[in-house]
Amino acid sequence: MANPTHLASHIRSKQATIGIVGLGYVGLPLVRTFVEAGFRCLGFDIDPKKVDRLKAGESYIGHLSAEWIYEAVKSKRFEPTADMRRLAEPDAIIICVPTPLTDARDPDLSYVVGTAEQIAAVLRPGQLVVLESTTYPGTTRDVVQPILERGGLQVGSDFFLAFSPEREDPGNPSFSTSRIPKVVGGIDAASRDLAVELYRQIVVEVVPASSCEVAEACKILENVYRAVNIAMVNELKMLFDRLGIDIWEVIAAAKTKPFGFHAFYPGPGLGGHCIPIDPFYLSWLARKFEQPTRFIELAGEINTQMPQYVVERVAEALNDASKPIRGSRIAVLGVAYKKNVDDPRESPAFRILELLGDRGAVLTYHDPHIPRLPAMRHFRVPDLSSQPLTAEFLSSQDCVLVVTDHDAVDYHLIAEHSRLVIDTRNALQAFAAGRTNIRKA
Ligand SMILES: NC(=O)c1ccc[n+]([C@@H]2O[C@H](COP(=O)([O-])OP(=O)(O)OC[C@H]3O[C@@H](n4cnc5c(N)ncnc54)[C@H](O)[C@@H]3O)[C@@H](O)[C@H]2O)c1
C-alpha cells in the first residue's frame, strides 16, 4: 500500500522528481514549467538524437531557447535521458507522446501503449502516472491501467493514475503552459487529488473532473468545436466570395457583438497535430457505438477541400493574367501549420505544394522558421530550401501564395514587389487598398 499523503507533501514541498515522457512540442515546455516552479525533471525520449541535442544544450523547438536548456541541464534541474529503466526514479510521470492516426484514419495508440509498457516494467509503489496525450474517452482506464497493473500493483492503493489533457498553444506569447488552466480526472479520488496537487504547483488554475473519461472528452470537445467552427467559416468564405463579400470584413463586424459570437477565421486548410486528427479519435469510438458523428465528418470534408479551393483561386488569378499554372513560378509563403511556429506537421502547405506541382508549377517557398522542407509521411515534398525574401525574388515570381502569416515577414515588401499575391490569411489587409495585385482566397 502506498500512502498518497506522503506523495502529496513531497509534491507540495517540491521535493518530488517529475518524469516527462515525450520531449516534443508539449513535453519540453512542460519540463520548463516544472523546472521554473522549482522541481527537478527527468525527461525521457526514445529518440536518442533529441536527447543528445538537449544534453548538448541545444533546442529543436523554436519558442524554447537553447540558453534555457543549457542552463537547466547544467544546473541538473533537467536531465534528459533515453534510458527508460530510469522511469523508476520519478515520483510523478507525465506522458506526452504522440497520438496520430493510422493510414486507415483510426487512432494509433502505439506510442501510448509503448510508453505504458516501459513504465509498467519498472513501476514502483507510490508513483503517480498522468496521461496528457489527446485521446478518446476510456483510454486511460481501458488501455493504460491494465498495462500498468500487469506486474501486480493496483491503481488507487499501490500507484495512482490520472488523465489531464494537454492544452499547449505553441508560440502563443499570451498563454504559456503555466497560464493555461488544467482539467484533471483520476481513475479514483486519490489519483485525481494527487494529480490536482501536482498541477496546482505549476498552473494558474486546476479544474478537477469527476473521472478520466470527462477529462478525455473535454479535450476532444475543445478540438471538435474548433474543427467545426473553422469548417463553417471556410464554407461561408467560399459562398461569400461568389457573392462578392469579404468574409474577413464580415467576421470583423460580427465580432463587435459582445455576447454569443466567438470569431473563427478561414484559412487554406487545417494543420498541426491536433485539430485535423483528434476529432477522428472520437468518431472512431462513436462507430463502435453505432452513433454517427456527422458534424465531425462534414467539418473534415470541408476543411480537407480547402487546399484544392486555394489552388483553384491561384489558377483563376493566373488565368486572368493569361498564364497557365504549368510553367508559372509560384512562391509559397509560410509552410508551418500556423503563424510563428516551426512545426510543419499536417500543414496544408504540403498538399498545396503537391497540387501545384502536379499541375506543373515551378515552386519555391519562404518560411523564416523552416529553412528546408522536411520529408513528410503523407506528402510528396519537393526538395527545397527557404528563399530569401527580397524585392528581386518577389518580382521574379508569377504568384506569391500566402499560406501561413508569420509575423516575421515584411508584408509591405510583398505588396510592393509581387506581380500577384494570393492571400489565404488576410495578412496583407493593411496594404490591399487600391492594389489590384492582391487577391484573397
Ligand atoms: N503540439 C501541440 O500543439 C499539441 C497541443 C495539444 C495537445 N497535443 C497532444 O500532445 C501529445 C504530444 O504531442 P507533441 O506535439 O508534443 O508530439 P511530438 O511529436 O512533438 O513529441 C512527442 C515525443 O514523444 C517521443 N516518444 C514517442 N514514443 C515514445 C516513448 N515510447 N517513450 C518516450 N518518448 C517517446 C517522440 O520521440 C517525440 O519526441 C499528442 O497527443 C498531441 O495530440 C499537442
Q: Which of 41, 212, 218, 274 is catalytic?
A: 274
Write the single-letter amino acid at 304: T
Answer whether 25's CB lies under 8 Å from 50's CB: no
Q: Which atom of ligand 1 is nearest to the CA of 44?
A: 33
Q: Provide the 8-state DSSP code for 265.
A: -
Q: Which atom of ligand 1 is nearest to the CA of 115?
A: 31
Q: Is the dihedral of CA 360, 365, 371, 377 positive or negative?
A: negative
Q: Is 170 in the pocket of ligand 1 (CB under 6 A)?
A: yes
Return the pLDDT at 343: 92
Q: Is 293 in the pocket of ligand 1 (CB under 6 A)?
A: no
Cα 102 to Cα 109: distance, rounded to the nearest angstrom: 9
Taking the centre of ligand 1 as the mean of its atom positions, its distance from the CA of residue 434, in whole angstroms, is 46
Cα 345 to Cα 110: distance, rounded to the nearest angstrom: 19
Return the pLDDT at 89: 98
* Nearest 10 degrees: Cα torsion 201, 206, 208, 209: -130
Return the pLDDT at 338: 94
Cell readout for 258 is 459582445
Return the pLDDT at 105: 87
Return the pLDDT at 146: 98
Distance of CA 248 to the CA centre of its chain: 24
Q: What is the pTM of this model?
A: 0.93
Cα 32 to Cα 337: distance, rounded to the nearest angstrom: 24
Strand partners, 208: 184
Q: Is the dihedral of CA 315, 319, 325, 328 positive or negative?
A: negative
DSSP secondary structure, 118-177, as one string = HHHTT--TT-EEEE-S---TTHIIIIIHHHHGGGS--BTTTBEEEE------TT-TT--G
Q: Provide the 8-state DSSP code for 347.
A: -
Nearest CA to ligand 1 atom 31: 115
How many of the other CB atoms lie within 10 Å of CB of 102? 11
Taking the centre of ligand 1 as the mean of its atom positions, its distance from the CA of residue 244, in whole angstroms, is 42
Query: In a 3-state reduction of DSSP, which class is residue 42?
Result: strand
Q: Is 271 in the pocket of ligand 1 (CB under 6 A)?
A: no
Return the pLDDT at 80: 98
* Nearest 10 degrees: Cα torsion 345, 97, 303, 289: 160
Q: Is 22 in the pocket of ligand 1 (CB under 6 A)?
A: yes
Nearest CA to ligand 1 atom 37: 47
Cα 155 to Cα 116: distance, rounded to the nearest angstrom: 14
Cα 337 to Cα 2: distance, rounded to the nearest angstrom: 45
Cα 383 to Cα 365: distance, rounded to the nearest angstrom: 11
Q: Provide the 8-state DSSP code for 376.
A: B
Return the pLDDT at 168: 83
Quick check: is 41 catalytic? no
Strand partners, 183: 207
φ, ψ at 94 (rounded to 5°): -115, 125
Q: Model confidence over 348-402: pLDDT tens digits?
A: 999 999 999 999 999 999 999 999 999 998 899 999 999 999 999 999 999 999 9
Pick the closest to residue 334 from 324, 343, 325 (CA basis): 343
Return the pLDDT at 362: 98
- Beta pairing, strands 182-186 & 17-21: unpaired
Return the pLDDT at 1: 78
Strand partners, 379: 376
Q: Is 437 in the pocket of ligand 1 (CB under 6 A)?
A: no
Q: Tell me which residues of the chain have a pLDDT lower than 70.
A: none
Answer whether 181's CB lies under 8 Å from 168's CB: no
For 250-407, where are the E strands, in sequence order? 329-333, 362-366, 399-402
Measured CA to CA in angstroms, residue 374 lies from 48, 99, 165, 377 at distances of: 19, 20, 28, 10
Looking up cell 500543414, which residue turns up? 347
How many of the other CB atoms lie within 10 Å of CB of 65? 12
Strand partners, 40: 17
Give residue 346's region: left, alpha or beta (phi > 0; psi -120 to 50): left
Pick the closest to residue 187 from 151, 154, 218, 220 (CA basis): 154
Q: Is 96 in the pocket of ligand 1 (CB under 6 A)?
A: yes
Nearest CA to ligand 1 atom 15: 25
Cα 423 to Cα 317: distance, rounded to the nearest angstrom: 12
